[in-house]
Structure 1
Amino acid sequence: MDVKSKEMNKVSNWCVFSMASIPLVMTLGNSMLIPVLPIFEKKVGISSFQTSMIITSYSIASIFLIPVAGYLSDRYGRKIVILPSLIFALIGGLIAGYASWKMNEPFTWIIIGRVLQGIGAAGAAPIILPLVGDLYKDDDEKTSSCLGIIETSNTFGKVLSPILGAAFAAFLWYLPFFSISLFSLISILLVLFFIKIPKKKEEPPLLKEFIKNTKIIFKNEGKWIFTIFVIGIFVMYVLFAVLFYLSDILEKTHSLYGVKKGFVLAIPLLALCISSFITGRKIKGDLQIMKKIMMVSLTAIALSVSFVGFAESRLIILLAVTSFLGLAIGSLLPVLDAIITENIEKEERGTISSFYSSSRFIGVAAGPPLMSIFMKGFLNGSFIGAGIISLAVAVLVYFFIKTEEKPRLKEATV
């Protein structure tokens, strides 16, 4: 009996590891390119705005396809959607890498490759949230803990990204694209062998019935759901805007390049990763604790982001401010994951959580191009504006995230 139990735990651990590999790979697929964007700009001969589109094209593809992937995963199964999506990500990396290697004007093909990677990201990482909910069913404590690991894997990818991206680019400037394909292949093998999906006991609803049920959910529970979506957009916008800004400033103001720059860029992301891991372990499905964390985190974001631009010329202060910002964002992300995953019934979990993932990608897509515009003359104002928005979002949390009773959605009836 003990041997059996240990064997089950081992399989379970490999399953968690395999699930965690997906957001890690998808994060590397996007964030790894941020520190090497200035290199792409020089090598490909494009503008700063065009360079930002290497990040944005990936995210825009994801925004529109994530809800489709969410429905398909509810209808046909999580694994059936995840595996082809990872293959898309693998192919996209090969296209972008080959174009950079062999073509004189590779920009268009790089964008095509990035769009394919975005399609892959749409059907891979967001599906992990409902999959965790499926595996742990009604055990909120285990769900929160596992989601904490998943979000930590995501944020750990952000820590590794600048270091790996800079290291690969130092060897060959287009190597980061090929590396994404390799990481995707590893993730494909892990998912194939170690993720075992629970068998469905009931047939999922048909599309017409499904849409009707989803509309009922948004009608009845829309206030708190849309509040979570707004927070998702906002925090990812702040994160990627600040990362884009840091990547540029570390070179132009502080003369930091390559791997050295990658390590410095990883400092605030390490703070984000640690904060995310600790928060995921502590919340245990307690909505009152989660609401407090959201309020405190949004206030901390408001305080820290407002001062980022003023610290530009002082590297230590800049890193301290952005690390504090990283701590705040890191504590917020697993809370958002937990609220969405634990409070949606299985039948609609994939779709609702996919809308949430789409909202996060809106922020990712908006951050770099908007920051490239703000850096031309409205830098401090943009950071202060983000601080004011953060306080406004905290007000939404205060009014619309209720703690009297857990807002678990009952099965919609038609």
Structure 2
Amino acid sequence: MDYVENLHAVKMKKGSKRDSKAKPNNQKWAVLSISSIPLVMTLGNSMLIPVLPVMESKLKITAFQASMIITIYSIVAILLIPLAGFLSDHIGRKKVIIPSLMISAIGGLIAAWAGWKMDNPYWVILIGRALQGVGAAGAFPIVLPLVGDMFKSDEEVSSSLGLIETSNTLGKVLSPILGAFLAGVIWYLPFFSIPVFCLISILLMFFLVKTPNKRQKPIPFKKFIANMKDTFKNNWKWLYAVFLIGIILMFVLFAVLFYLSDFLEKVYRVKDVKKGLLLAIPLGGLCFASYITGKLIKENKVLMKWLTFGGIVLLSSSTAVLSFSKDMWFMIWLFLAAGIGIGVALPCLDAFITSGIDKSERGTVSSIYSSMRFIGVAAGPPLMAIMMKNAENSLFYILAGLSIIAAIATFMAIKPEEESST
């Protein structure tokens, strides 16, 4: 069974509730509140990227050790996200999200305290970051199925997911500026900001987000596992393609951000807020592209496929051309083009997952997808550090080659154009 056949099966299960002319579900404040979660989670991680060279100096560690401050967060999240998705399918989304935000806040406090009070805080900072990863596992990944639960029409879901992805990318835009500013005051101050952001998001979730009153009775665990096996058996081709694309896009994004941050500081001596503003240029393109794409795609699966393909082709060509010059502005404008390519693709991938999987399994499947994205986040900085040391002349060709693989996967495995003939 391909993507389209499964999509039709999902729609049949939902019957008249999925009528595309259904009355719009007015939950603007709820969606804005939910959007604070990816914003907070992204700030809690990406904000540290421009600070890594400073941490290298302050903690007397290597570039690879500094990259692990990002990577440990993602590794823990990768391991726990599927469990969080399963729990959210069975006990409810908010009951997973709010405690997860609390855990993330505690992790931020531990890392901040270590940087403030300890002479050799590196390993305690990693513990704090690991706790943040535990919190991240039950926060942003659960947002995707929660949005799917809240709305009846695919158009509302796609539009809301576009806003969620925009919030995620807005966090990436603000992260280098805010991180560089806070670290310019005290290098560990970014850690202290994390509990504050988490508290705001907790309050918004608690008071403004009302999950659907009628929840299906959780199916028995054995039946759930059997259903999941059937889902992957019937949809493996397009699901695995989306997973692979998610890994590659996030790997390229975080590898490029790590490279650009290090390059600006060590080659051009650009530091603090100025560096944050320069890093925000490609991320701003990513954010804008996500917002426009989320508004544009609606229920059009064919458009989603070709936007994804086009965005990845733009990413691949931009990263390949980066090898031609080390001029700062040449690189930043090409990074901007690469960011736009990623920003176009991400909302489409979110919509494929959310609209193509039945609600009873949506939390688990979308959480596995989020785990795949976190693999890219985790691998990007340390592998880029290794490539910068051992394969500097070919690293952009490597990134371009990976992007081509993602483009091929999009073209070969995601085939919604068959919908018109069914």
Contact residue 93 and residue 178 of structure 1 kept, 8 A: yes
- Is residue 21 from structure 1 mapped to residue 21 from structure 2 by the alignment? no
Q: Which amino acid aligns with 2:268?
A: H
- How big is the shift at 1:406? 5.3
For residues 321 and 395 of structure 2, the distance between their equivalents in structure 1, rounded to whole angstroms, comes to 11
Does residue 133 in structure 1 map to residue 127 in structure 2?
Answer: no
User: 2 CA distance for matches of 1:192 and 1:47?
Assistant: 41
Residue 368 of structure 1 is matched in structure 2 by 381
Q: Find the aligned partners of 2:284 and 2:331 in 1 and give their Cα distance.
A: 15
The percentage of aligned residue pairs carrying the same residue is 55
Please state whether the residue corresponding to 2:211 is helix, strand or coil: coil
Which whole-Å CA distance do the structure 2 matches of 1:293 and 1:201 have between them? 34
Question: 1:308 aligns to what SS in structure 2?
Answer: helix
The residue that corresponds to 1:104 in the other structure is 119
2:165 to 151, 155, 161: 151
Cα–Cα, structure 1 residues 9 and 297, in superposed 2: closer, same or farther, change >3 Å? Answer: closer
Distance 2:191 2:417 in 1: 48
**Could you tell me how far apart the structure 2 residues matched to 1:111 and 1:385 are?**
29
Give the TM-score normalised by structure 1: 0.94
Gap change, CA 1:131 and 1:10, over 3 Å in 2: closer
Cross-structure match for 1:357 = 370
Matched, 1:80 2:95: yes
1:32-51 CA-to-partner distances (Å, cap 9, x unmatched) read 00001011111111111100
When residues 264 and 82 of structure 1 are mapped into structure 2, their CA distance, relative to the original with a 3 A threshold, is: same
Shift of 1:390: 1.7
The alignment partner of 1:306 has SS state of helix
Amino acid at match of 1:335: C
Alignment of 1:200-349 (within 5 A): 200-312=214-326, 314-349=327-362
Secondary structure of the structure 2 residue equivalent to 1:256 = coil
Q: Are the equivalent residues in 2 in contact too, given 1:11–1:194 (CA < 8 A)?
A: no
Rounded Cα–Cα distance in structure 1 between residues aligned with 2:325 and 2:188: 32
Contact 2:245/2:409, CA 8 A, preserved across alignment: no
Any idea what SS the aligned residue of 1:154 has? Answer: helix
- Offset at residue 9 of structure 1 (A): 9.7
Q: CA deviation at 1:65?
A: 0.4
In the TM superposition, residue 201 of structure 1 has moved relative to its aligned partner by: 4.2
Q: Which residue is 1:12 aligned to?
A: 27
TM-score normalized by structure 2?
A: 0.92
Alpha-carbon distance in structure 2 between the residues aligned to 1:381 and 1:31? 25
The corresponding residue for 2:72 is 57
The Cα offsets for residues 271-315 of structure 1, whole Å up to 9 and x where unpaired, read as 110011000100002111011111111111110111224332x11
* 1:195 Cα deviation from its structure 2 partner: 0.7
- Provide, for residues 325-344 of structure 1, a one-character-per-residue CA deviation record: whole Å limited to 9, x for no partner: 00100001100001101111
Asked if 1:115 corresponds to 2:124, the answer is: no
- Is the 2:309–2:345 Cα contact (8 Å) retained in structure 1? no
CA contact (8 A) 1:309 1:379 kept: no
Gaps of 5+ in 1: 1-7, 408-414
Structure-2 residue corresponding to 1:398: 411
Counterpart amino acid of residue 383 in structure 1: F
Q: 2:20: which partner in 1?
A: none
Q: Which moved more, 1:238-247 or 1:200-209?
A: 200-209
1:396 Cα deviation after fit? 1.8
Q: Is the 8 A contact 1:81 1:124 kept in 2?
A: yes
Match of 1:124 among 122, 139, 148: 139
Asked whether the 8 Å contact 1:27–1:154 carries over to 2, the reply is: yes
| Partner Cα distance (1:214, 1:389) in 2 | 29
Letter in 2 for 1:331: V
Question: Could you say what secondary structure the match of 1:307 adopts?
Answer: helix
Alignment-mate amino acid for residue 31 of structure 2: V
| Cα separation, 2, equivalents of 1:301 and 1:112 | 35
Q: Look up the SS of the partner of 2:187 in the other structure.
A: coil
TM superposition shift of 1:11? 7.4
What is the total number of aligned residue pairs between the two structures? 398
1:66 maps to 2:81: yes
Could you report, residue by residue, the CA deviation over 1:177-230 in whole angstroms, capped at 9, with x for unpaired residues?
Answer: 010111001101111111101023421211111111001000010100000000
Q: Which residue of 2 aligns with 1:410?
A: none
Equivalent-residue separation in structure 1 for 2:364 and 2:328 (angstroms):
43
Cα drift, residue 10 of structure 1: 11
Q: Secondary structure at the match of 2:389?
A: coil
CA deviation after TM superposition for structure 1 residue 375, in Å: 0.5
CA shift digits 1:356-387 (9 cap, x unpaired): 00000000000000000011131231221221
Say whether the 8 Å CA contact 1:306–1:380 is kept in structure 2. Answer: no
User: Tell me, what secondary structure is at the counterpart of 1:176?
Assistant: helix
Does the 8 Å CA contact 1:310/1:380 hold for their aligned counterparts?
Answer: no
What residue number does 1:181 align with? 195
User: Which amino acid is the alignment partner of residue 386 of structure 1?
Assistant: L
CA distance in 2, matches of 1:9, 1:100: 49
Extract unaligned runs of 5+ from structure 2. Answer: 1-22
In structure 1, C-alpha distance between the alignment counterparts of 2:400 and 2:219, rounded to whole Å: 43
Q: Which amino acid aligns with 1:212?
A: A
1:272–1:326 Cα contact (<8 Å) kept = yes
